[in-house]
Structure 1
């Protein structure tokens, strides 16, 4: 119940349910033909029920329990929250267009995504009503995880990667002579993942790259270019265009964020036992 992409992948099951329900409501007697031989709608319905029926039913029962509990404790999910989560999901996929492509490839619709977001948030809101986190616990959690909240030292780096030192020396000479770094990266860099973008890697912090690469990158001043740096990948010429200094987090500034993180963790920890308890409280009859 934490990662958007993992959450989206779980929606393949409701997609199968939609296919099943669609089949039940239509009058046509077949869904495909192979050399004129029909695959009957009833064959598809039976296969879907056999493969997904029990799991889909359990999901629907769980959703109904959540909805009934939500009414009891008086919680709901606003359309603004659903929209915000949908936009976050789209961003995690690289934008609305890529998300829509993913949905189509998996036989899903935007509405099915929004319905799943609503149920996900509703479940969180219901369980949150029974979670009690004290101010002291929040403060202690911050102290135990302070490094996760502070701003780490970062640099915005680009590089030109060359196979041999001789070529690297030639390219470095061109840079020193005033030729454009980005254009040289497009022409000479063998890093196919960055050369079209002028060699830009993006923001990096320590521990992400080769040690020699990082030593050079973090030692550069903003706007400066390194000498040739050799790693196991080849010969790099590195340019740093932005530097972000490390900054320690202040508890008062982020205590709401810390609380939200703790709440998410508690909900995840308690979900299974909460659901088992509610299943015992409700009279559930499977036909």
Structure 2
């Protein structure tokens, strides 16, 4: 990774020199290393960062195309290690027994047990995949059959499900989309520079 960083910095410094950045800098340069650092940084700001800006309109477009990613669920669960016991408890729930009472009596999740298994609100990416898939597939007040994860068997009840508004998500979306644009632009520019400049690595020097 460090070698890749050195190569990328050198490539940007070479291109910066060609574009006249050496004449632009008003910083007193003492070492070649410092020079490469400064001009490659300036090149990055002008040719990658400045061309990867994300507007509120860009964020709105992303939100509208990915609304299903901006949903949060409030759920409670009962965690049981034994599969047969989990099935038995599920039957009790379907038969009309209180989810809260059964969670307090049987759940092996010591953190949520006393609150009836209440997990509060969570969004996608916060739970293990099997749990997440099951929870987001349920409607309000629906209960899942026992779902196996690395922790055991979960019986999940969805208490609420709501769409997160654009305004609540805007800052997060802008950061996420901008990071993606920066990476794509950086990769694109570096690929162009690698085609333009021949990279040779002196393995003997590098190993030292």
Query: What is the TM-score of this pair, normalised by structure 1?
Result: 0.36
**Which structure is richer in relative contact order (CA contacts within 8 A, separation 6 or more)?**
2
Query: What is the TM-score of this pair, normalised by structure 2?
Result: 0.49
